[in-house]
Chains A and B, each alone.
Chain A
Amino acid sequence: SSPCSACVTSMYFRIARYKYYPYQRNTYVIGRQSIIIDFITRYTPNTRFTVPAREMGSILRSEEMMLLQLLLQSDSAYACVRELGEVGKVEFKDLNAEVSAFQRKFVNELRRCDEMERMLRFFVSELEKAGIPIAEPPLNCQAPDPHHLIDLETLFSNDEESLKQLNANQESLRKNLLDLKELKHILDKAQTFFQEGEEVLAEAFVQQQTTAGGVGGAGGGAPALYSKQSELNQKLLADSDVEAGGLATTRFTFLIGVIPAENLLVFTRVLWRVCRGNVFVKHAQIEEPLEDPTTGNPVLKSVFILFFQGEQLNARIRKLCDGFRGTLYACPESVPERQQVRLQVGARINEVETVLQNTKSVKEVALGKIAQSVEEWQQKVKKIKAIYHAMNMVNLDISHQSLVAECWCPVKDFHTVQEAINRGTQLSGSPISAIVNRISTPETPPTYYKVNKFTSGFQAIVESYGVASYRELNPTPYAIITFPFLFGVMFGDMGHGLMMLIFASVLIIFEKKLAKTKAGGEFLSIIFSGRYLLLLMGLFSIYTGIIYNTLYSRTTNVFGSAWRPYYYGTKNQSFGTRMFTNSCAPVSFTNCHNYPFDGACNAVYCDNRSEPVRCTFPTEAQLSSQPYPFGLDPIWLIASNKLTFSNSYKMKMSIVLGLFQLMFGVILSIVNNIKARSLISIIGVSVPRVLFLMGLIGWLVFLMFYKWCKFYSEPVKAPNLLLTLIYMFLDFGDSPNVKGDPVYSVFGINEPETAAQRTIQVILVITAGVCIPWMLLMKPIYLIVKTKRAEKTKTMKMMTDSTSMTVPLVPLEGHNSKMAEMADVSGAMEKGEVMMQEGKEEEAAAGHGGHGQTPSEILVFSAIHTIEYCLGTISNTASYLRLWALSLAHEQLSEVLWVYAIAKYNIAMFGSKSGGGFIIMFALWAVWAVLTIGILLVLEGLSAFLHALRLHWIEFQNKFYEGEGRKFKPLSFAIVLAGEEDE
């Protein structure tokens, strides 16, 4: 076939646009650089299929990619990569995949970045501790040049140093303050301690006097202090050698100190054990939590005082205090001394607090400065890090003068990339410019779509199934419409659709604000990213809701029902008579309620009967007047056969929609085959597939439409389509009509078309029978024959062509002497590309199982695909019945909710006419609204969404979509910055 006119025009247009194309075949010059672009290769007929998609828009197929080789001068490489990062259009290929991370060239720079990031994290944590908000960064902060890296580093380390200094000062001050405060609390508590201690000791002394009866003897028994668990019951058995006049305290040593509250219990227990009870403990909790000097966290502490005797005990107790992290303080015994110390301590505390306050404000000033630029620094360091990561993927030239990078880049953005490199060279002031070569490669390029905020949600849905293979047809543009439509079929309700639409609109209207806040967690952010999807889903739900004529399970009667029962039988006497014999006596229109529609169906409810008179099957005459202009007639709401009707209608509709989508999928696979120029796939696979699908399901759909047109008024005679289809195969096409059974005769009995139906069905059955071996065998046989033939010539061909695959680097500046060489190179490239094309063609020709080359494998793959397709024809079509099922479920659920939450009570209230009904109604409405949102909108919406997803992934994409590609991951600062924030 010839290239389409559009593509030819575009080709000439393109060539004309580059004024630099006058004399060299493959080279044009922009700015200071010579760029080799093989235009001729691009637009030779070999590649013509790639051109239209490029012109038509990138969402249909992924961007055309090319592999560029960049020769970057080592002094300008950094700047070039930085500019590329800002542009975000190239993906660097890792040329050092086998080199481990720490052996790469720029690992030291990366390490420095890590170090800077550590300092930045330190700043941020200090800022958070101090509660200072971090300022917004300027919009565009460029990554600094490499020689400025050291400036940043010194800046950071100076700041870190001063902060650490301040922290250390603060810590020592705090420690000081803590000691003072502890001492203050001790002094406060000491008074009561000593008093109580004295009392207890004295009491014990008296007790001892009385009980022991003056057992004396100097240096007698060791003092035995007895303390029980309960503080109140602490008793002292004083020693007997205390002089009667003096109080016991004078003889006791005491230690006073502070201990963390959580250690107190164990401390006293061990103390008791160690001293064998010869110690008297008093303790009191310090109510005000003290500050831990290092962390600044509040800690609870207790003051304790110990009375005991003897030097040995003293040493042990001191050790014990040390072990339990208690601090002992010296405390004067006499009250005036204590008061004096207390005053001094108070003054010291004030002093230290002032100093601390000063330190804090100094620190705040320092932090405030940091807060202004910390975010900017972070962005800069992240950018630098990304640049060096990219540069680590680059090879060193043998001469070490330049770096050789390979990167993927969209063909369309070539000029942007090039400009970025130019800019980088200029900015770095390098005298020698970078060189960009396009090189050919047998590798499959990555898949890249330029998505916008509208298409990205849909693209994400498709890609969660699998990233498209390179340049494969993208299902997204079709899914943009079909996905919300199928959702709407299952979710058809004007009211619910409207609510969804409003919700999506709110998300879209405030999208800029919402995108910034990032509140609401992962789940909401998923919903937010699908806001345009939601919008369309809402719109299509409204559309199908109008067709179904349901508004929160009710109907709207905009145009007035078109249903006109003829009670008096003027036009169809027999029908009218049947009505009358079955129901009430003739009634006049005036005696009937206007329920619920005015004018249109007056005769439905008769005043002398509670049951409405229902016309189940309106006659031809009744309907011939004028149908309801759009959607279902509202009268169906109260028809007793409403469900029978809507089931039949929706079931058929599902099959029809299914056929269309399946057929569309098959057609897209044909388009793919055309693009791969695999004639054998079209003839050997696509054609029988189309015939098979159309012969079976297509015929069924045709019969449906025919039945709709023909049998609306005579239900009894209507044929059964399912049985028709089944018997078409069981009885080889002909039997139903020949039998004369009305059940099978779609075209009527004894009419001219009857014979036609028979003939058609026989032909269809034969076609379907032929299609199966056709699909199964034709292509494999062709391939097997072809490979055998190719094998003979292959070795020869490979020997001649293999040299053309490697492409040497092309030197700089448009020297005329090099031209011939360049022409050679590009000639070789052209050949290489042709080779690639051929290779691809072969691969494509082999189809899905193309990699397996042995005949048996080809046959097995073909068999699998044939079986899958034939079974799929039935099962995929049947799968579309979920449209009906979900839609039915949705409709019934909302009706149940309406009836049981509102309608029943509504009738009851209007019957009773009580005023209180208003309040009940108000409450019931709330119940109804909550359930509507919770069950119908959220749950039903989710289920409809998942089913629509399934229909697209499995039934639709199955037909043509490979999805084995690799996503394009460009070096882009925008992604780097956004990604880091997400973590």
Chain B
Amino acid sequence: MSLAEYGFNVDNGYLEGLLRGFRSGILNKTEYLNLVQCETIDDLKLQLQATDYGNFLQNEPSPIAVSVIDEKLRSRLVVEFRHFRNHAVEPLSTFLDYITYSYMIDNIILLITGTLRQRQIAELRNKCHPLGSFAEMESVNIASTPADLYNAVLVDTPLANYFKSCITQTDLDEVNIEIIRNSLYKAYIEDFYQFCQNIGGATADVMGTILAFEADRRAFIITINSFGTELTADDREKLYPSCGKLYPYGLHQLAKCEDYEQVRQVAETYPEYASIFAGAGNNPGEKTLEDRFFEREVQINMLSFMQQFHFGIFYSYIRLKEQESRNIVWIAECIAQRHRTKIDNYIPIF
């Protein structure tokens, strides 16, 4: 233990204890099995009552829409997160702020895309994740170029630093927005990675693993998604976050790839990714690559609870809860649409 860890509990002990308590509220296998058996959304509500979620849907009138469940799940998580944030002291508070930046990026992109498609800001406002909301957020619709966006809106926000590399883009169109999103993420992940390394100790270890995986996953996804677009190999390489295990050799290889098969070959040189690609596919009975990545993400995040005195569990908890929300919503959607064949495609956590 380093010296900092001796004092960990002075500042963060309460929150860590609380969080570990919350963690045991994450749904387990048997609870998922019960959820999957449900016939209607009302059954689902009844089953969720028996879990840690308790009465969170009790004030909703009876035909419950899936969107309502989604919203309630999200607001529950937000309440928990705000509680952590309000009780946190440095450097945990900054760490928690870093977690919100990814939501901020998502919100910005959502709003820009929305305004491009002539949606009303009031309509988009409700779709934004509350964790990533900030005061200037809703004024993005006045910006017509990235430079505008930066100067008018983002310059005061924590995202300003990440945005610098995007100012050169001329237009705000669909492709450019994707590029902006990815370069924002690249800058964000690298910055977050650096921040965690500066904290050091177990936080650096745990978050290093998690963020390296995150970075590599983005690199793979960007590569696969860019097939068939006009994005050049060089441009593509610029979007790869450089804190992953693929860096630098694997990223070069990825940049040269031209089809899925080549990507798979690149992945095969890395044992941890080889296994992910091995079981992935779009045929029935196989899981999609996205799900395989989610599974691995869940595994990695579970592991972070094995260590004590570090901030990684806060990140992991949020990620696991997000995954849980996705699972519940997936199951609810399957039930609502009477599409039970794929109901088992959720990703169990315990």
Binding site for B on A (CB under 8 A): 100-103, 107, 110-111, 114-115, 117-118, 121-122, 263, 266, 269-270, 273-274, 316, 319-320, 322-325
Is B50 among interface residues, defined by CB-CB distance under 8 A? yes
Expressed in whole angstroms, the minimum distance between the Cβ of A294 and any Cβ of chain B is 14
Tell me the number of A-to-B contacts counted with CB atoms below 8 Å. 64
Verify A323–B47 contact, CB threshold 8 A. Answer: no
Is B38 among interface residues, defined by CB-CB distance under 8 A? yes
Verify A274–B142 contact, CB threshold 8 A. Answer: yes
Q: A111-B42, A118-B59 are in contact. Are A324 and B138 (CB under 8 A)?
A: yes
Task: Tell me the chain B residues, 122-151 only, with Cβ under 8 Å from chain A.
Answer: 122, 135-136, 138-142, 151
Report 25 cross-chain contacts, Cβ distance below 8 Å, ordered by A residue: A100-B34, A100-B47, A101-B46, A101-B47, A101-B50, A102-B39, A102-B43, A103-B37, A111-B42, A111-B62, A118-B60, A121-B58, A121-B59, A269-B156, A270-B139, A270-B152, A319-B121, A319-B139, A319-B141, A319-B142, A320-B139, A322-B122, A322-B138, A322-B141, A323-B140
Residues of A within 8 A of B46 (CB): 101-102, 107, 110-111
Is B284 among interface residues, defined by CB-CB distance under 8 A? no
Which of B37, B59, B60, B61 is A100 in contact with, Cβ under 8 Å?
B37
Q: Give Cα distance in the complex from A114 to B49, angstroms.
A: 12
Q: Give Cα distance in the complex from A538 to B195, angstroms.
A: 64
Residues of A within 8 A of B151 (CB): 273
Expressed in whole angstroms, the minimum distance between the Cβ of B133 and any Cβ of chain A is 12
Is B155 among interface residues, defined by CB-CB distance under 8 A? yes
List 10 tightest A-B contacts by C-beta distance, closest first.
Answer: A323-B138, A102-B43, A323-B139, A266-B135, A274-B152, A102-B46, A319-B142, A316-B142, A273-B152, A115-B62
Task: Tell me the chain B residues, 203-224 only, with Cβ under 8 Å from chain A.
Answer: none
Is B153 among interface residues, defined by CB-CB distance under 8 A? yes
Residues of B within 8 A of A103 (CB): 37
Which of B58, B136, B138, B139 gathers most chain A CB within 10 Å? B139
How many B residues have CB within 8 A of the partner chain? 28
Q: A102-B38, A118-B61, A273-B152 are in contact. Are A324 and B47 (CB under 8 A)?
A: no
Which residue of B is nearest A107, CB measured?
B46
Task: Tell me the chain B residues, 34-72 only, with Cβ under 8 Å from chain A.
Answer: 34, 37-39, 42-43, 46-47, 50, 58-62
Residues of A within 8 A of B142 (CB): 274, 316, 319-320, 323
Expressed in whole angstroms, the minimum distance between the Cβ of A854 and any Cβ of chain B is 35
20 more contacts with CB within 8 A, not counting A110-B46, A111-B62, A324-B138, are A100-B34, A100-B37, A101-B46, A101-B50, A102-B39, A107-B46, A115-B61, A117-B58, A118-B61, A266-B135, A269-B156, A270-B136, A270-B139, A270-B153, A274-B152, A322-B121, A322-B141, A323-B138, A324-B139, A325-B138
Verify A323–B156 contact, CB threshold 8 A. Answer: no
Task: Tell me the chain B residues, 257-297 only, with Cβ under 8 Å from chain A.
Answer: none
Residues of B within 8 A of A274 (CB): 139, 142, 152
Interface code B142-176, partner A: CB below 8 Å = 1, 0 otherwise?
A: 10000000011101100000000000000000000
Which residue of B is nearest A262, CB measured?
B135
Expressed in whole angstroms, the minimum distance between the Cβ of B121 and any Cβ of chain A is 6
Which of B59, B135, B152, B153 is A263 in contact with, Cβ under 8 Å?
B135
Q: Give Cα distance in the complex from A656 to B292, angstroms.
A: 74
Which of A273, A322, A323 is B155 in contact with, Cβ under 8 Å?
A273
Interface of B is mostly: helix
Expressed in whole angstroms, the minimum distance between the Cβ of A310 and any Cβ of chain B is 14
Q: A269-B156, A274-B152 are in contact. Are A323 and B141 (CB under 8 A)?
A: yes
Q: Give Cα distance in the complex from A316 to B141, angstroms.
A: 9
Which residue of B is nearest A101, CB measured?
B46
Expressed in whole angstroms, the minimum distance between the Cβ of B158 and any Cβ of chain A is 15
Expressed in whole angstroms, the minimum distance between the Cβ of A115 and any Cβ of chain B is 5
Residues of A within 8 A of B141 (CB): 319, 322-323
Q: Give Cα distance in the complex from A100 to B38, angstroms.
A: 10
Q: Give Cα distance in the complex from A121 to B39, angstroms.
A: 27
Residues of B within 8 A of A266 (CB): 135-136
Expressed in whole angstroms, the minimum distance between the Cβ of A619 and any Cβ of chain B is 67
Q: Give Cα distance in the complex from A122 to B37, angstroms.
A: 31
Q: Give Cα distance in the complex from A764 to B110, angstroms.
A: 91
Binding site for A on B (CB under 8 A): 34, 37-39, 42-43, 46-47, 50, 58-62, 121-122, 135-136, 138-142, 151-153, 155-156
Q: Give Cα distance in the complex from A745 to B39, angstroms.
A: 87
Expressed in whole angstroms, the minimum distance between the Cβ of B130 and any Cβ of chain A is 15
Expressed in whole angstroms, the minimum distance between the Cβ of A263 and any Cβ of chain B is 7
Which residue of A is nearest B144, CB measured?
A316
Expressed in whole angstroms, the minimum distance between the Cβ of A458 and any Cβ of chain B is 35
Residues of B within 8 A of A117 (CB): 58
Expressed in whole angstroms, the minimum distance between the Cβ of B104 and any Cβ of chain A is 15
Residues of B within 8 A of A320 (CB): 139, 142
Verify B58–A118 contact, CB threshold 8 A. Answer: yes
Q: Give Cα distance in the complex from A274 to B121, angstroms.
A: 18
Q: Give Cα distance in the complex from A102 to B41, angstroms.
A: 11
Which residue of B is nearest A276, CB measured?
B151
Residues of A within 8 A of B156 (CB): 269
Expressed in whole angstroms, the minimum distance between the Cβ of A259 and any Cβ of chain B is 12
Expressed in whole angstroms, the minimum distance between the Cβ of B78 and any Cβ of chain A is 18
Residues of B within 8 A of A118 (CB): 58-61
Which of B34, B37, B50, B136 gathers most chain A CB within 10 Å? B136
Verify A114–B58 contact, CB threshold 8 A. Answer: yes
Q: Give Cα distance in the complex from A107 to B61, angstroms.
A: 17
Expressed in whole angstroms, the minimum distance between the Cβ of B108 and any Cβ of chain A is 13
Residues of A within 8 A of B42 (CB): 102, 111
Expressed in whole angstroms, the minimum distance between the Cβ of A359 and any Cβ of chain B is 23
Which residue of A is nearest B153, CB measured?
A270
Which residue of A is nearest B37, CB measured?
A100
Residues of A within 8 A of B122 (CB): 322
Which residue of A is nearest B151, CB measured?
A273
Residues of A within 8 A of B152 (CB): 270, 273-274
Residues of B within 8 A of A100 (CB): 34, 37, 47
Expressed in whole angstroms, the minimum distance between the Cβ of A325 and any Cβ of chain B is 8
Expressed in whole angstroms, the minimum distance between the Cβ of B16 and any Cβ of chain A is 27
Which residue of A is nearest B44, CB measured?
A102
Expressed in whole angstroms, the minimum distance between the Cβ of B292 and any Cβ of chain A is 31
Expressed in whole angstroms, the minimum distance between the Cβ of A791 and any Cβ of chain B is 40
Expressed in whole angstroms, the minimum distance between the Cβ of A94 and any Cβ of chain B is 14
Q: Give Cα distance in the complex from A121 to B60, angstroms.
A: 11
Q: Give Cα distance in the complex from A319 to B61, angstroms.
A: 36
Residues of A within 8 A of B136 (CB): 266, 270
Q: Give Cα distance in the complex from A319 to B153, angstroms.
A: 13
Expressed in whole angstroms, the minimum distance between the Cβ of A116 and any Cβ of chain B is 11
Expressed in whole angstroms, the minimum distance between the Cβ of B316 and any Cβ of chain A is 30
Q: Give Cα distance in the complex from A110 to B139, angstroms.
A: 48
Q: Give Cα distance in the complex from A103 to B40, angstroms.
A: 11
Which residue of A is nearest B50, CB measured?
A101
Residues of A within 8 A of B60 (CB): 118
Expressed in whole angstroms, the minimum distance between the Cβ of B119 and any Cβ of chain A is 12
Which of B39, B43, B122, B142 gathers most chain A CB within 10 Å? B142
Expressed in whole angstroms, the minimum distance between the Cβ of A927 and any Cβ of chain B is 38
Q: Give Cα distance in the complex from A323 to B107, angstroms.
A: 14
Q: Give Cα distance in the complex from A115 to B156, angstroms.
A: 48
Q: Give Cα distance in the complex from A322 to B42, angstroms.
A: 39
Q: Give Cα distance in the complex from A281 to B58, angstroms.
A: 47
Q: Give Cα distance in the complex from A305 to B234, angstroms.
A: 50
Residues of A within 8 A of B59 (CB): 118, 121-122
Residues of A within 8 A of B138 (CB): 322-325
Q: Give Cα distance in the complex from A115 to B151, angstroms.
A: 52
Residues of B within 8 A of A322 (CB): 121-122, 138, 141
Verify A323–B62 contact, CB threshold 8 A. Answer: no
Residues of B within 8 A of A323 (CB): 121, 138-142
Q: Give Cα distance in the complex from A274 to B138, angstroms.
A: 14
Q: Give Cα distance in the complex from A320 to B47, angstroms.
A: 45
Which residue of B is nearest A263, CB measured?
B135
Expressed in whole angstroms, the minimum distance between the Cβ of A721 and any Cβ of chain B is 52
Q: Give Cα distance in the complex from A133 to B31, angstroms.
A: 41
Expressed in whole angstroms, the minimum distance between the Cβ of B347 and any Cβ of chain A is 22
